[in-house]
Structure 1
Amino acid sequence: MNGAPSSAATPALSEPVKPTTHAKAAALIDVTSGRLLYSSRGDEPMLIASTTKIMTAIIAIEQGDLDSLVTVSSRAAGKEGSSIYLKAGEKMKLKDMLYGLMLRSGNDAATAVAEHVGGSLEGFVFLMNAKAEEIGMSNSHFANPSGLDQKGHYASANDMAKLAAYALHDPTFRDIVSTKVKTAPNPDEEWDYKWVNKNKMLQLYEGADGVKTGYTKQALRTLVSSATRDGRQLAAVTLNDGNDWNDHAKLLDYGFSAYRLEQVIGKGAEVQNYPFVAASTLRYPFAAGEREKVELRVELYGPDSTDYKFGYRGRLSYRLNGEPIGAVELLPRTPAPEERSD
């Protein structure tokens, strides 16, 4: 294979044989369900380098105006480390700057974006940590928008997997991180910016569609990648891994072959022994033999509850090995015409 990651995943479901990696910590997540499929030292807080910019980008997408013009400050233009060579006073659309942030890992872009969206670096860092808490990143704390090594700036592999899965639900984020080459207007020169994505997984792995590379002298190589096959998207994380391209191929191959994303219940499906239907679809990745072990429970809402007043009649929840895997709200079943009485 000449060092290139595998592009073939075994289609048949098999007993999971967990891969080994060169990473100090690693994680693999199913994007749709949020189920962690693999974790090695996954809760250990570590340096994450420029994979930090996943958080920077998703906050900018959610809270910024993508068509607004970002004015580059002298602080942003002079930021050390990887750069897209912005100049102080230069103006660029926020959306274009996010491409420079994610494809070329511009620390200058990260600082400019943070100052624009958060009002200041400190204001943006506050937003980062608030979003981390919202997502459930319990072993993480952010101190800057770029990922440069700094006291109080860290995350765990499991938390980065959660962050990637969260961000990949956003279509703008997905479009940006799956882009191999991007050109953007350069107002001060006759030539346009042209950014080639540093994420080699986009070329090396079949179905790869994200996410972000990273490196500092202390964190060493960090990588978050994603791939989609047959409608399934997985995201892999490695922290401090000198062989990350191949390790990510192994992790993704493992996830696609050892787990199958199955529909637990479809939207509108009737619930046996109850006059209700599911308000939404629930899908979940199962390893061999797990689907048959799923247990379900129906919780009925009282007429005085807020949920009932919004039209819901109950909640159908599912558990696997005693752990919750998902739930759907229940709506009253509409009688068939022959069941109605005039």
Structure 2
Amino acid sequence: MIKKLSLVCIFMLIALNIFSNPVKASSGPPVPSADSAVLMNAVTGEILYAKNPNNAYPPASTTKILTTLLTLENCELDEILTVGEGPAQAEGSSIYLLPGEQLTVRDVLYGLNLQSGNDCAEALAEHIAGSVENFAEMMNKRARELGCENSNFRNPSGLYDKDHRTSAKDLALILKELIKYPEYLEIASTMTHIIEPNNKSTETRYVWNKNKLLQPSSKYYYKGAWAGKTGYTTQSQHSYVAVAERDGQILIVTLVHDSSADYYQDTINLFNYGFSNFKTNNFINKNEILTNYTLNDNTTIPVIAGDNFFYTTYVNSDSKASFKLNLLEETLNSSSIKAGDKIGSADILLDGKTIGSMEVFSGADHVVEQKMLFHSASVLKVEDKSINLNLFYIIGSILVFLLILIAIKNKQILSEFFYKFKRKRADN
């Protein structure tokens, strides 16, 4: 009995300890093995996790996402590309393009993204810019435009060059822009693509997708994965970029300079962390009414959002974004405002901190009522009439006075005439 009571007491103590100190799930993010890593909200651009995000390393074939972006920005997919001597001799991975071979840009992009063909990268570079060197200049210019601050690209393929470097943050910015193109998502998610025989090749080529996050048979298959790109050279080590969607939220993972080759699992861990802990909130859409603003004449105009605005919060957060208007007084005080006129900007705030801004526009035409102006004009008109009337009176008075003078003068002349006439008769 004593032993049974002792066991009961022990179990009760254990239970009390468990309930009084519940186990808390770890809220910390997983730590990837890559030297530079970023988890980004693909809609807002907010970085949800970072490890040395600005450290630059050789990125190997993840370079090809920038080559793809420039191709989609400068070419039509059905354009015919003629392969030069240089691309046909490119080092590393290849789909074995032939000098003088003519293919569509679409086919070459499939070879670039699915088979990671370095020959495809150089062929696209020459087609767009005339040379690999010119294309590298385009790459660096476009990267700077996207906000990349730690990148220097020397070639379109990612072949090792000591000066060819980028960071996880910069790759995330490039991929964020690239996924705006449905053509890219279609290409990058295709499992197999066939390149038909052409003027130089009598054989049908097959290119297969190497991205294991998209392969249903792979242990790394990730439901909701849209696209990705691997990269590896001995000097560059492993790099990987990927994008995935769940419940309307789109996330990007970029990993650079990974010596352990754990990038697939690290990507999955980061995606799971991001989808489990964060949510994307829609504050307002472009052309929606942000508020109605009261003008000095007590009339109102709708203030229209100049762009979509999304922001990220933790999944359990009740925080809601607000805004602060910064309006252009000169525009608002003008005599008329047209629908679509820019009238200022709005700072977007979350928990008292500014998280972004947008331009705002008038949602309607508005003509300032000219009551005071009309009144002043009326007074001027009345005054003008008064002046004209007074002038009429003055001129009339002068004329009357002159007529009276003339009449008086005439009366004197007539009197003298009759006086002289009477005297002359009397003398007769």
* TM-score, length basis structure 2: 0.70
The match for 1:80 is: 91
Measure, in 1, the Cα distance between the counterparts of 2:70 and 2:201. 30
State how 1:196-275 maps to structure 2 within 5 Å: 196-203=208-215, 204-241=221-258, 242-267=261-286, 268-271=288-291, 275=301
Measure, in 2, the Cα distance between the counterparts of 1:131 and 1:294. 32
Measure, in 1, the Cα distance between the counterparts of 2:45 and 2:68. 20
1:328 lines up with 2:339 in the alignment: no
Measure, in 1, the Cα distance between the counterparts of 2:354 and 2:203. 54
State how 1:276-295 maps to structure 2 within 5 Å: 276-288=303-315, 292=319, 294=321
Alignment partner of 2:323 out of 296, 315, 321: 296
Deviation at 1:322, TM superposition (A): 7.2
Deviation at 1:334, TM superposition (A): 4.8
Measure, in 2, the Cα distance between the counterparts of 1:322 and 1:222. 38
1:45 lines up with 2:56 in the alignment: yes
Deviations 1:191-222 (CA, angstroms, capped at 9, x unpaired): 42211111111121011111211100011111
Deviations 1:275-295 (CA, angstroms, capped at 9, x unpaired): 423244311221256662745
1:315 lines up with 2:345 in the alignment: yes
Q: Do the aligned residues in 2 keep the contact of 1:25 with 1:238 (CA within 8 Å)? A: yes
User: Structure 1 residues 130 and 273, CA, compared in 2 at 3 Å: closer, same or farther?
Assistant: same
Alignment partner of 2:194 out of 183, 195, 209: 183
SS in 2 for 1:130: helix
Q: Which moved more, 1:102-111 or 1:293-302?
A: 293-302
Q: Do the aligned residues in 2 keep the contact of 1:25 with 1:240 (CA within 8 Å)? A: yes
Deviation at 1:185, TM superposition (A): 1.8
The match for 1:167 is: 178
State how 1:12-51 maps to structure 2 within 5 Å: 16-51=27-62
Q: Which moved more, 1:207-216 or 1:294-303?
A: 294-303
Measure, in 1, the Cα distance between the counterparts of 2:27 and 2:67. 34
* Amino acid paired to 1:192: T
Deviation at 1:236, TM superposition (A): 0.4
* Amino acid paired to 2:276: S
Deviation at 1:181, TM superposition (A): 1.5
SS in 1 for 2:272: helix
CA RMSD of aligned residues (A): 2.3
SS in 1 for 2:180: coil
Between structures 1 and 2, the one with greater helix share: 2
Deviations 1:7-34 (CA, angstroms, capped at 9, x unpaired): xxxxxxx995211112122111111111
Q: Do the aligned residues in 2 keep the contact of 1:270 with 1:333 (CA within 8 Å)? A: no
SS in 2 for 1:112: helix
User: Structure 1 residues 290 and 132, CA, compared in 2 at 3 Å: closer, same or farther?
Assistant: farther
Q: What percentage of residue pairs aligned between the two structures are identical? A: 35
1:136 lines up with 2:147 in the alignment: yes
Q: Do the aligned residues in 2 keep the contact of 1:26 with 1:158 (CA within 8 Å)? A: yes
Measure, in 1, the Cα distance between the counterparts of 2:150 and 2:277. 27
SS in 2 for 1:160: helix
User: Structure 1 residues 36 and 194, CA, compared in 2 at 3 Å: closer, same or farther?
Assistant: same
Runs of 5+ unmatched residues, structure 2 = 1-24, 216-220, 295-300, 366-428
Q: Do the aligned residues in 2 keep the contact of 1:15 with 1:258 (CA within 8 Å)? A: no
* Amino acid paired to 1:328: M
Q: Which moved more, 1:100-109 or 1:66-75?
A: 66-75
Q: Do the aligned residues in 1 keep the contact of 2:319 with 2:350 (CA within 8 Å)? A: no
1:127 lines up with 2:166 in the alignment: no
User: Structure 1 residues 32 and 121, CA, compared in 2 at 3 Å: closer, same or farther?
Assistant: same
Q: Do the aligned residues in 2 keep the contact of 1:29 with 1:36 (CA within 8 Å)? A: yes
SS in 1 for 2:289: coil
Deviations 1:112-143 (CA, angstroms, capped at 9, x unpaired): 10000011111111100000100011011100
Query: How many correspondences in the alignment?
Result: 320
* TM-score, length basis structure 1: 0.86
* Amino acid paired to 1:74: E
Runs of 5+ unmatched residues, structure 1 = 1-13, 336-342
Alignment partner of 1:103 out of 114, 122, 126: 114
Deviations 1:238-291 (CA, angstroms, capped at 9, x unpaired): 123311111100011111111101111244234266642324431122125666
Q: Which moved more, 1:35-44 or 1:17-26?
A: 17-26
User: Structure 1 residues 270 and 42, CA, compared in 2 at 3 Å: closer, same or farther?
Assistant: closer
SS in 1 for 2:114: helix
1:56 lines up with 2:67 in the alignment: yes
